[in-house]
Homo-oligomer: A and B are copies of this chain.
Amino acid sequence: MTTVADLPTPALIIDSAALDDNVATMSAVHAGSRLRPHVKAHKCSALAAVQAAHGHTAFTCATPREMLGMADAGLGEDLLLANEVIDPRRLRAMAAVQADAMITVAVDSTQTIDAAAAAGLRNVLIDVNVGLPRCGCQPTEAGRLADYARARSLVVRGVMGYEGHLMIVSDRNSQRESVRAATDLLLLAHRDVGGAIVSAGGTGTYDLHDRVTEIQAGSYALMDTHYAQLGLPFGQACFVVGTVVSSQARYAVADVGLKALGMDHGDPAIVGATVHFCSDEHVTFSMVEGGQPQVGDRVRVVPAHIDPTMAMHSVAWLIKGDEVIDRWPIDLRGW
């Protein structure tokens, strides 16, 4: 039996019980096609297969690589690229798998529509700006873009609008009001666009939507310290295990550094410890209570941002208790 203690570190581990709990909890709220899990949060087709086994067979992706990898893994029933791409080679590569997979790409301009049509793609979703200053057309332009896409013989399946700026809001009532206003904009656009899909939401707003057809949450499956602030009913299912390599009078150092962790949300956490800082291959920390860690001890580091953390590892180890029960390649990395 291989246990967590046998793994070379830093080791990305996924607790299968916590993962199953999270996926089941979300499925109970948004069953089947009401949830379109976002694979950017894990970049792992084996994990996506768990979500599919819970009834979610339509997926959201952020990159062509994620789209092609999901199709390749036999999970291509309904793949949405919730992102704008104009690279003809990558668009053609996605078009080439349309015999086996349903491919839909987001568009927010005539250029992205032209590129999708020229590549031979069939389906698009109009990406609408609902407040986050990123991709997405103005709500009042969505209808015109839908007409333009249809004139180019594309099927317009509906609209999407990601309220990313509203994922982490400390006051739930204020968050609810803001999500309502963002959804108003999305529905305004949908009135002009038509189509069966109104896609929005994320882990931080998964329970604040009753007027869309599907939710794009991803982080809920594994979680991180950033989303943990919200008190959602999802538990931490992913950790980076480190080995203490140096122990000094007032701190210890483990081999989980900023090359093993997404750092855009700040330092990671270690349960029962204060994290002082990360450098390339190290985290320096002190125990809040309990004895001083010894060289060779293992620690579990909780990522502050799960998505980029997953992208830094080539493999995740699935565990049940302390036993390693599977090895999951992070096969959707790259672009």
Contact = CB atoms under 8 A, between A and B. Distances in A.
A248 to B, nearest CB: 7
A308 B263 contact: yes
A246 B84 contact: yes
Nearest to A64: B8
Nearest to A90: B8
Nearest to A136: B246
Interface core residue of A243, A294, A335 (most chain B CB under 10 Å)? A335
A311 B87 contact: no
A274 interface: no
A335 B8 contact: yes
Interface in A229-286: 243, 245-248, 250-251, 253, 255, 258-259, 262-264, 276-282, 284
A26 interface: no
Contact of A279 (B134, B245, B311): B134
Interface in A281-333: 281-282, 284, 294-296, 307-308, 311-312, 314
Contacts of A129: 248
Interface of A, secondary structure class, is: loop
A263 B112 CA distance: 29
Interface string A161-191: 0001000000000000000000000000000
Contacts of A8: 87, 89-90, 335
B245 A135 contact: yes
Interface in A69-112: 83-87, 89-90, 108-109, 111-112
Nearest to A41: B280
Contacts of A245: 83-86, 112, 135
Contacts of A111: 294-296
A64 to B, nearest CB: 9
Contact of A246 (B87, B135, B276, B308): B135
A63 interface: yes
A157 interface: no
A10 interface: yes
A198 interface: no
Given A109-B295, A112-B245, 7 more contacts: A8-B90, A83-B255, A129-B248, A259-B308, A259-B311, A262-B263, A280-B308
The 4 tightest CB contacts between A and B, nearest first, are: A263-B264, A84-B245, A135-B246, A111-B295
